[in-house]
Structure 1
């Protein structure tokens, strides 16, 4: 998104803001951290690709389900307690993953990790905005910087540590998240972010009754299938070492971060949200088709992954920003409902892709992903009349920040 001038320096922030920003970097590293070690886990623990891909499924299913209750929890126990609960769960379950002796155990522990991730990411942005000096614009810019660094560095760190052992990236998360936990505990003051009235547990479910939000959530479910086939399945046909996979997805992460922060706002200045989505989704489907047809050529596949990152960055921001305009419900409620549905796509995509690979060949998973993205396109197109409200006015700084937060979290 476009960087708007703040009234104060972005970099002159209280210590508690830097503590949460550091935790954000580490949390978003987790998106691509496991990618480089998927083949190594499969080989070391005598697991097939379908079993290994369930590492994403358990993580995303629990993250999505937990999103439905995070607003209810944080509105009762406060932002700091929610942050610490999330960070603490990630430390514990990442350690269990590192010490595991079977892929089934890691799958289970990744579910606990997903719960911690949901608690943390649902609270981090509000905490930074509430504590930052220089206004919300400065807070959003700082948050975006942390997010972009985390998404880009995650696969690279995973590749570096994965060259030593598949357990290395998990131990790395334990150490970094433990530091983040201590920093938040010592530096973040209770009541930092704006206090909200207690949310009813049923709020996200009621929000999904809104036709525009329901259409966007369904489109996001199918779009996320494309996202996670590209992210979670591609390490297998690439055939690279952990470092090679890490470098590939480092490029993917940089591309995603750049377009989500800078290119998406430029497009939105010229086109409405609906028009951007109806342009980018077919391009993403075409990229996935090309990836499937050229899957035997590692160089071509790397290029398709990087191009996919560019397109995914735009879609993540625009689609989630649209959610903010689709309903009159509080943003935290709308985003929780949307994320819960969206993560279903991310959860089912990796094991289905691996199964299609074994049943047919490495091309079919990408064609499946492309078809899913086209279904998302048709959903947006058919629901266009209901979605007129999402193009009515530009997002403010905090809305744009929330869009990047929720979009890139999943």
Structure 2
């Protein structure tokens, strides 16, 4: 039986799809691994600072709410900067945008390590956020575009890099912070130099074949948010990030541990985040679908935050809750990132920028708000409020289910 012209014409596409489907998670081009390892180092920066929040508060005579501004300025600048990352990367190219981000992180983290008051440190963390925005948004788009194993596996790889960076970061931060609170800042700057050398040596200058050559404008992320599905995920992530950054920025103040102790707690948190993002999230996606799995994880996370609010003064409960939350956050991060990449017919870098803009607005407000709630009321209140916001994200997703249910069908295609 002879093949029809249509079947012959479609066979190369089918063949390419089959090759992509069969490509393993570890079967990646050299450029993907270059970005992967740079991501690990970049995300170590977030975890490095966490164990020294209490020490910074004491050494620089700052209140908890002032100290949590280190997260607020970082996330606020990241949120705004996300809007221009696409425009910059479409002109500089992926490689040079990543390198620019790394250089900015190195400079501002080094200056932070040399600063002498909380307000200078808060401002310098904002500069760090600018560098991180350039790197993070471009890194996700780079790994997805350069990968030969499909969007889903590329996102798992990206989330694994985040998990590894976040898990190793606190351990190193606790060790360096035990010597001086300046150590982690100077440590980040040193690690960024290593990441810079790695990308220069391993990542090619040429653009990936499946990356658009069209220059992105400042309006594109806002245009992308006209797609209801992308807007829904962005708002849901902003609400969810209230809980995420309440845990990350405020939990160290109620743990009653030193730098090393906090470092080990967040090491456990980060390990569970990394493992679940790679191994558990894909199983949940296949068995229950992306949206249902996401809502389940967020609901459990809201319950965990509520438990932290009830037993704030019980040290082992706080420690166990933080570590367990890593598993919930690892799953959810992979689930929601995959959903965003499949949510709207726009460039992946543009979708990432639009989504991240909304997501980091939540991350900017939550840390400072958590510190003020503790000062106004008591240390339990931030966890209760964080739980309410996370639960609100689940309700918001459920109310807009008709606008986002197509992401599960899109994922089947990958």
TM-score (norm 2): 0.88
Q: Which moved more, 1:314-323 or 1:92-101?
A: 314-323
Aligned equivalent of 1:185, options 188, 196, 200: 200
Report how many residues are paired. 393
Aligned equivalent of 2:333, options 289, 313, 316: 316
Deviations 1:359-398 (A, max 9, x none): 111111100001101111110111122222222232666x
Q: Which moved more, 1:76-85 or 1:340-349?
A: 76-85
- Distance in 1 between residues matched to 2:191 and 2:86, nearest whole Å: 26
Per the alignment, in what secondary structure is the counterpart of residue 306 of structure 1? helix
- Distance in 2 between residues matched to 1:135 and 1:389, nearest whole Å: 18
Cα separation, partners in 2 of 1:395 and 1:124, compared to 1, 3 Å? farther
Gaps of 5+ in 1: 398-410
**Residue 300 in structure 1 maps to residue 317 in structure 2:** yes
Per-residue deviation at 1:49?
A: 0.6
Per the alignment, in what secondary structure is the counterpart of residue 206 of structure 2? coil
Cα separation, partners in 2 of 1:291 and 1:10, compared to 1, 3 Å? same
Deviations 1:117-168 (A, max 9, x none): 1111222244456667889898667655533321210111111101000000
**Residue 45 in structure 1 maps to residue 64 in structure 2:** no
Per-residue deviation at 1:187?
A: 3.8
**Residue 34 in structure 1 maps to residue 28 in structure 2:** no
Per-residue deviation at 1:86?
A: 0.5
- Distance in 2 between residues matched to 1:30 and 1:361, nearest whole Å: 30
**Residue 84 in structure 1 maps to residue 109 in structure 2:** no
Matched-pair contact (CA < 8 Å) for 1:130–1:192? no
Q: Which residue of 2 aligns with 1:263?
A: 280
Gaps of 5+ in 2: 1-19
Q: Which residue of 2 aligns with 1:61?
A: 76
TM-score (norm 1): 0.89
Q: Which moved more, 1:356-365 or 1:20-29?
A: 20-29
- Distance in 2 between residues matched to 1:107 and 1:162, nearest whole Å: 18
Per-residue deviation at 1:17?
A: 5.0
**Residue 203 in structure 1 maps to residue 220 in structure 2:** yes
Q: Which moved more, 1:241-250 or 1:265-274?
A: 265-274
Q: Which residue of 1 aligns with 2:294?
A: 277
- Distance in 1 between residues matched to 2:234 and 2:148, nearest whole Å: 34
Q: Which residue of 1 aligns with 2:117?
A: 102
Cα separation, partners in 2 of 1:125 and 1:345, compared to 1, 3 Å? closer
Per-residue deviation at 1:38?
A: 0.2
Cα separation, partners in 2 of 1:63 and 1:395, compared to 1, 3 Å? farther
Q: Which residue of 1 aligns with 2:186?
A: 171
Cα separation, partners in 2 of 1:268 and 1:48, compared to 1, 3 Å? same
Q: Which residue of 1 aligns with 2:231?
A: 214
Matched-pair contact (CA < 8 Å) for 2:157–2:278? no
RMSD: 2.3
Cα separation, partners in 2 of 1:302 and 1:321, compared to 1, 3 Å? same
Cα separation, partners in 2 of 1:227 and 1:395, compared to 1, 3 Å? farther
**Residue 10 in structure 1 maps to residue 26 in structure 2:** yes
Matched-pair contact (CA < 8 Å) for 1:281–1:377? yes
